[in-house]
């Protein structure tokens, strides 16, 4: 038995399809949006469409940006000789919350997963190797402690070591199977400070 008309159900279904949003949360959001003044709904819709149309990848690190460079890469105070490799922009945001990492990042937008058919060519490794042709002292591999993250870390290590650049891996303060975006700042900081050569 349907409780609402098609438009309300369609809105709830669309919201529920977003990551981390269940049916109850989708209902709350839908009812909230319907109750908003038309001008706020128009502004929300315009903001979403503008972000979708104009957000792109940073030319250096592949993070999301609305200009050529993201704020981290554009900051001259950052240590551009130290690159932390992360799987996605959420992981970058998690490390930025610690306020202690002063280097720059490289966002892979995924991890190697032969089971899912994701190979090295499907993530941003080519862009990383191009960056390493410049003046780089250290690559910190901060992929998740999952099978895919470990596979990706080992693959990157084998690519980078012949260049003579120091390659380190974040310490195991991050639990195996844990995603970086859900881990508190203290644990992330300990993992960063306890990184080891690989």
Find the CATH number of the domain harbouring 127. Answer: 3.40.1360.10
The pLDDT of residue 1: 45
Which residue matches tokens 């470990």? Answer: 150
Residues 48 and 137 in one domain: no
- Of 11-25, 146-160, 184-198, give the lowest mean pLDDT range: 184-198
Find the CATH number of the domain harbouring 38. Answer: 1.10.8.420
State the Cα–Cα distance between residues 15 and 21, nearest whole angstrom.
7
Residues 178 and 98 in one domain: yes
Give 34-51 pLDDT, tens digit per residue. Answer: 999 999 999 999 999 999
Contact of 156 with 139, CB cutoff 8 Å: yes
Q: Which residues contact 43 (CB under 8 A, 6 or more apart)?
A: none
Contact of 83 with 138, CB cutoff 8 Å: yes
Domain of 155, in residue numbers: 64-197
At 194, phi and psi to the nearest 5? Answer: -95, 20
The pLDDT of residue 192: 79
Contact of 60 with 104, CB cutoff 8 Å: yes
Tokens in use for 114?
């032969």
- Of 56-70, 85-99, 163-177, give the lowest mean pLDDT range: 163-177
Residues 98 and 173 in one domain: yes
Residues 43 and 92 in one domain: no
How many separate domains does the chain show?
2
Kindly state whether residue 1 falls inside one of the protein's structural domains. no
Residues 166 and 105 in one domain: yes
Mean pLDDT of the chain: 89
């Amino acid at each position: 038995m349907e409780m609402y008309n098609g438009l309300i159900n369609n809105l709830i279904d669309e919201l529920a399809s977003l990551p981390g949003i269940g049916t109850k949360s989708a209902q709350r959001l839908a009812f909230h949006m319907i109750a908003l003044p038309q001008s706020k709904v128009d502004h929300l819709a315009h903001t979403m469409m503008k972000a979708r149309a104009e957000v792109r990848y940073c030319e250096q690190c592949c993070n999301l940006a609305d200009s050529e460079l993201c704020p981290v890469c554009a900051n001259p105070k950052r240590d551009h000789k130290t690159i932390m490799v992360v799987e996605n922009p959420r992981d970058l945001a998690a490390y930025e919350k610690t306020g202690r990492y002063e280097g720059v990042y490289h966002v892979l937008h995924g991890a190697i997963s032969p089971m899912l058919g994701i190979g090295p060519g499907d993530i941003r490794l080519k862009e990383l190797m191009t960056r390493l042709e410049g003046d780089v002292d250290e690559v910190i591999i901060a992929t998740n402690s999952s099978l895919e993250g470990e596979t990706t870390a080992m693959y990157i290590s084998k690519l980078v070591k012949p260049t003579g650049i120091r390659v380190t891996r974040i310490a195991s303060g991050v639990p195996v199977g844990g995603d970086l975006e859900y881990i508190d700042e203290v644990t992330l900081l300990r993992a960063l400070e306890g990184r080891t050569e690989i």
